[in-house]
Structure 1
């Protein structure tokens, strides 16, 4: 009998598209210093001597008129986001118009009074069916110290203020537009009491008090009544109180700490002498809301005056005089909500004023800038630093750093025992109190800057062209693990080649080709897996095994070449493909060899926990299935390419049981046009499509990896190529499997496969399908699950902002569970800051069983009928794995606008250095073309900002500038990652007239532009 010939197996990849030589040469002139030439099966890249990248796009001038200074700007629902109405003095009028759109809304405004004045408040809502109320919040305790709560949708009254205060509009019921007007009035020599004021919540607020303040208040009373006043004390102070009254009466003074609550349980100090006048001094630490009660011990109907003189504390610093009880500055108990502080029929209305910061900050640290004082009484000018020191020291602060001639970092030692929220509240109270001090230009939290994502970004030369890694959330996975050198991956392919990007990652392997004529090296089995090439002179060699190995584990973060999926894993080449392909028998022996099992060669190796087989063809072989089963039982996971025939016919070895079959997707995460589809497909990964350039990087959308070029002599072993195929998809999965095992080396092949499939991002029809199996491999979710997943599901969205530029449009944002367990989506809501209800969102898809119950979030915009302009909104997703917020901007209008003509500076700001630096600049004029090009950019992370510099101070987007823009929209900053050979276009964004009053915490210096001579 003649033996049956074994079926031939060929590499599961399609040769990559090659650029025309002239085009590629032109690219060499602009991007790299030297380029390799010649033929091959893909686009070869030679490491450049020096590179620059480019960012380009178009800006749109949507608003060229001054913004309405009276119009509220969202978000302004916490004191830390308050709209700044500015400074108010006697004779000044401040106005604000706004809208409460939901019963739970609050609108917060900030005012600053340089001197103590009385403010007349007038508030009118437009809806007769609504009832809106107004509160005044002090800057020290952040408590509602005055309340205007009539049953009508109109409020009026007066309050006293000095320093900073917050005016809060909130709904008792219903919604309404409104107008708020604040008019400054001069105070007389004496501030009179206001009834009722018998309990602390009713006490009249008198503003902030610092050293040198002298105020006289007056009133009258009968036995059984009290008169109470509230004083905000931002600095440590010794205050002298002198209460004078008529002979025959006896009035006493009681002092309460109202900082934590306007319902203090007992006074901390009393003055109950029988003398006239009643005189006492009170030592208070910084940041105290002090309640002063004038109470009759024996009185008919008497008038009285209380003289308040504030000086410095008895001791230079805290703690204060031991003879005086130490006040409790902030309670660690949950603070009372505003409904507990109200009186009258509205006392049951639930309303809590949020005080937390919208972004994390370093509690106890502020960034403060002071103005220099022109001259003192002695004629010596006081520097800004001296003035700042004199201001913050009585508050318990000290300067710990300062930018030359710029802002300083001021540190405050917060009281002990504060929880995170109270520490945050205290820090903002310090900030708010400083904003109202004479000579302070601004005070803001020291915001904590976090990475855009928990991820590792390698510095390899061509990493920016490896789009396929971002697609599977690999950088985020690297933030968890970069692999382990105890994990070994066998590459059953064409063998190894010498390359700087692979040499240190490869262990000794084996040449398992038994037929010398196929091997091409003159012999059969041997211990040298060197790929001698499979070209024929006219057709360059594929060097397929090197390309596969480079995807799995090219040396990474070495400033050279490309990155691999794993940074630590050892690669073992087992050569099975030679001239004309390879045989099933040789591959059977190779699988056994890589699993550490006996085989025909008589040689074995240490167990390779993962085997990558980017090859296939032929029909079913029971011998091969038996070998797969044996290797799996020994602890080796077999990963194989699904095939490139665009066919539903099963391909082997991918279709064998116990093999993880990998299909390919393109740049758009859709089934690649060549990828096989079959019920045995388990998972998908990037395989590329070299016929397209959808990301606009001037290179085909193939998978870039190591591949020598023997189209000329000598062979260039330091070359790289774009390939496409399920051969390229499989090593992505094999590499992720190695990362999973680095997190939990005790996992079995079945468990690793279950993790990879269970955490995949569902694509195509909901659930498992023939094109993608269980979905696109998700490296971050897989390694997180292997590490325990943080104890539960974790919600992740594939984007954090969206920009639409047509009136009607839709976009899908992928929902991923990057933790463990089932992610259950609970609700999705959409809100807009202006323009009405143009934004909506809903969950779509049934998700992935055991991972998430919805596959994506569909965001819809319908701006039909809206005027040209910029509209902003937010989508909020709530789940059992946390909350995610998505910023959405709708930009309507053409590139350009009416109104004045301005020079606009477009900047590329490097955010990988501290402080961020402007690296490139483009100047355009709003009367001409609005296209920009930022060139000569090194690799790194950038934000793009544009704006005017009409005051010619060297900064854009600072206060008073008419135009400012940030890609993709103000408030939606996005990091642009630029590779060393990057060229990113289409970065379009709008310019608008910024409302600086709503930009809480924004540095007034803006962004530094380059001198005009530095323009690119």
Structure 2
């Protein structure tokens, strides 16, 4: 079902946002008939049965993507009785219509029509405007301790640590990213859209960012030029899962997690998310998102078992995740109706998936308050990181004219995209805010920790990040900041 405001804040700001949509469906018409196709996810108990292809075909389905590492299959079918007719020689744990995530463009309001008026420093950088990175790195001191750097193994030079960015792609030629970009994989079909029928796979190496989100995230991790990331010499690999419409079903995201783990990345950043509900009704028919949730869990477990630290954003709904009833009530109020009723447990993915470091968004001006949009909750938030907001004046009044965009996070932006309303110098850089901007800061910290301590497991990386976080909010672990605001310098200087 439709679910907005996941990766970047849109409350009174009109920036990009994550959405969890309803059934992944399409309509094909002919002169005499109309057929509705749906995408389904099937989660088997362990490995895929030997004859799963024939069994799915017999029920009227066509395999779109097989994910043997997690025992999952994505299927498209126009048979309305596909699930009930599916007979398996193996054990199907769950099967349901597939969820679909969407990045949406907001329409700039009011004063949003102009670029942000800042100038470069005397050295030609925007360092003085990067309040977030300056704070995380203790004015750049952490760079001297560990920036990602390179290592030589068997005569080959490589980055000490690599972060996989599962997102909308990357402007690989951006001058602040090019030196650290080491490839990636595209999961979007050839036509640029997942489309209404299984399409031919697009060029697998084409990770061109057609949205901007992924490029901004990458700059916060490993920018090295006019702006700096947390680890200016970390390697970055792009996994493009959002198509030209800004949409992606569960399956390519799960496949990207598996691919990144197989590629040997050290850290995965997912500034994405949404809500799965385990029991809801559409026109009286019961549905669930159990298969989606199972495959999310298996994919994260697969990555962690391959020694990959997984980091994700907490979302921008201003919700207390510990209040389970309020989550389901929120879905009913915002996305329910006469024909749609949510009744089951609501689960945030990937934020609530075991093994994920979940990141809330802090701001420049307060050590007691999160950014106004950030989700929070005990046993949900692990740490916070600077994701920015519109400044203290706006926080007090919520008047659009009181926004100050320089309280947001400055990072890289695709040079070839049309002008964005918070762009700097009209090209290559933009201010954004959201938990999407907080998560990559923690992924960058995890990256430099792995560069400094290559033998650390994901559990050890997480423990160090939490141990060395700045204790903001209530003393000790709290519902807003978790263990505190993560900090690269304190992590690298810990004894």
* Superposition TM-score, scaled by structure 1 size: 0.31
Q: Find the counterpart in structure 2 of residue 7 from structure 1.
A: 99
Contact 1:7 1:617 in 2 (8 A): no
Q: If you compute each CA radius of gyration, which structure gives the higher value, 1 or 2?
A: 1
Contact 1:665–1:685 (Cα < 8 Å) also in 2: yes
Deviations 1:254-275 (A, max 9, x none): xxxxxxxxxxxxxxxxxxxxxx
Q: 5+ unaligned residues in a row in structure 1: which ranges? A: 33-47, 53-458, 534-541, 597-604, 790-1016
Whether 1:731 and 2:397 are equivalent positions in the alignment is no
1:488 aligns with 2:155: no
SS in 2 for 1:655: coil
CA 1:627–1:767 in structure 2 vs 1: closer, same or farther (change >3 Å)?
A: same
Aligned to 1:683: 383
CA contact (8 A) 1:460 1:563 kept: no
Residues 1:654 and 2:351 aligned together: yes
Structure-2 change in CA distance of 1:23 and 1:515 (3 Å): closer
Contact 2:137 2:230 in 1 (8 A): no
Contact 1:15/1:723 (8 A) holds in 2: no
- 8 Å contact from structure 1 (residues 16, 721) kept in 2: no
Contact persistence 1:13–1:728 (CA under 8 A):
no
* Structure 2 CA distance for partners of 1:724 and 1:633, relative to 1, 3 Å: same
SS of the equivalent of 2:268 reads strand
C-alpha separation between the residues in 1 aligned to 2:105 and 2:231?
21
> RMSD over aligned Cα, in angstroms?
3.2
Residue in 1 that maps onto 2:372: 673
CA contact (8 A) 2:391 2:404 kept: no
Which of 453, 476, 479 pairs up with 1:744? 453
Give how far 1:477 is off.
1.9
Matched residue, 2:250: 584
The one of 531, 536, 554 aligned to 2:208: 531
For residue 615 of structure 1, give the secondary structure of its aligned residue in structure 2.
Answer: coil
Relative distance call for 1:697 and 1:573 in structure 2 (3 A) is same
Structure 1, residues 304-360: CA drift from partner, whole Å, max 9, x if none? xxxxxxxxxxxxxxxxxxxxxxxxxxxxxxxxxxxxxxxxxxxxxxxxxxxxxxxxx
Say whether residues 1:513 and 2:149 are aligned partners.
Answer: no
- Map 1:540-559; keep pairs closer than 5 Å: 542-556=211-225
Structure-2 separation of matches of 1:8 and 1:17: 27
Cα separation, 1, equivalents of 2:313 and 2:124: 27
Q: d(CA) in 1 for partners of 2:476 and 2:219?
A: 32
Write the deviation string for residues 595-632 of structure 1: whole angstroms up to 9, x where unpaired. Answer: 11xxxxxxxx3x00000000001316111101111110
Hey, what does 1:92 align to over in structure 2?
Answer: none
Q: CA 1:463/1:769 → structure 2, altered by over 3 Å: closer, same or farther? A: same
The aligned counterpart of 1:282 is none
The 3 A distance-change label for structure 1 pair 476 and 22 is closer
- Check conservation: 1:514, 1:525, Cα contact below 8 A: yes
Q: Check conservation: 1:12, 1:616, Cα contact below 8 A.
A: no
Distance 2:224 2:146 in 1: 15
Residues 12 and 756 of structure 1: is their aligned pair in 2 closer, same or farther, counting only changes over 3 Å? farther
Q: Give CA deviations for 1:202-256 in whole Å, capped at 9, x if unaligned.
A: xxxxxxxxxxxxxxxxxxxxxxxxxxxxxxxxxxxxxxxxxxxxxxxxxxxxxxx
Partner of 1:72: none
1:513: Cα distance to partner? 3.0
Aligned to 2:24: none
Pair 1:465 & 2:129 matched: yes
Once residues 12 and 492 of structure 1 are traced to their aligned partners in structure 2, the CA distance between those partners, rounded to angstroms, is 17
* CA deviation profile, 1:346-405 (whole Å, cap 9, x unmatched): xxxxxxxxxxxxxxxxxxxxxxxxxxxxxxxxxxxxxxxxxxxxxxxxxxxxxxxxxxxx
Shift of 1:738: 0.8
2:277 pairs with 1:571 = no
Judge conservation of contact 2:209–2:215 (CA < 8 Å) in 1: no
Q: Distance in 2 between matches of 1:661 and 1:464?
A: 28
Tell me, in whole angstroms, the C-alpha distance in 2 between the residues paired with 1:13 and 1:471. Answer: 30
Report which of the two has the higher share of helix: 2
The offset of 1:680, in angstroms, is 1.5
Q: Which has the higher contact order (CA 8 A, sep 6+)?
A: 2
Shift of residue 636, structure 1, vs aligned partner: 0.7
Task: Find the aligned partners of 1:508 and 1:496 in 2 and give their Cα distance.
Answer: 10
Instruction: Output aligned runs, 1:773-784, within 5 Å.
Output: 773-784=482-493
Number of residue pairs matched by the alignment: 334
Aligned counterpart, 1:635: 307
Residue segments in structure 2 that go unaligned for 5+ positions in a row: 1-80, 84-95, 150-158, 277-289, 322-346, 395-401
Residues in 2 aligned to 1:737 and 1:706: alpha-carbon distance in whole angstroms? 20
Alignment correspondent of 1:856: none
Q: Which residue of 2 aligns with 1:897?
A: none
Q: After superposition, where does 1:145-160 map in structure 2 within 5 Å?
A: none
Deviation at 1:697, TM superposition (A): 12
2:409 aligned with 1:703, yes or no?
yes
What displacement does 1:523 show? 4.5
CA contact (8 A) 1:576 1:587 kept: yes
Cα distance in 2 for residues equivalent to 1:655 and 1:666: 23
Cα distance in 1 between the residues matched to 2:129 and 2:308 = 32
Partner of 2:29: none
Alignment of 1:105-254 (within 5 A): none
**Superposed displacement of residue 686, structure 1:** 0.4
Distance 1:717 1:530 in 2: 23
Contact 2:148 2:235 in 1 (8 A): no
User: Displacement of 1:703 after TM fit?
Assistant: 0.5
CA distance 1:717–1:545, change in 2 (3 Å) = farther
Distance in 2, Cα, partners of 1:775 & 1:16: 33
Pairing of 1:707-722 with structure 2 (within 5 A): 707-708=413-414, 710-711=417-418, 718-722=427-431
- Which residue pairs with 1:454 in the alignment? none
- Measure the CA separation in 2 of the matches of 1:693 and 1:483: 37
2:274 aligned residue = 617
After superposition, the Cα gap between the structure-2 partners of 1:641 and 1:15, relative to the gap in structure 1 and judged at 3 Å, is: farther
Q: CA deviation at 1:719?
A: 1.7
The aligned residue for residue 441 of structure 1 is none
Say if 1:12 and 1:615, in contact at 8 Å, map to a contact too.
Answer: no
Query: How far apart are residue 572 of structure 1 and its match?
Result: 0.1
TM-score by length of 2: 0.61
Q: Secondary structure at the match of 2:384?
A: strand
- Could you say if the C-alpha distance between residues 623 and 672 of structure 1 is closer, same or farther in structure 2, counting changes exceeding 3 Å? same
Does the aligned pair in 1 maintain the 2:384–2:485 contact within 8 Å?
Answer: yes
Tell me, yes or no, if the aligned pair for 2:419 and 2:426 is still in contact at 8 Å.
Answer: no
SS in 1 for 2:349: coil
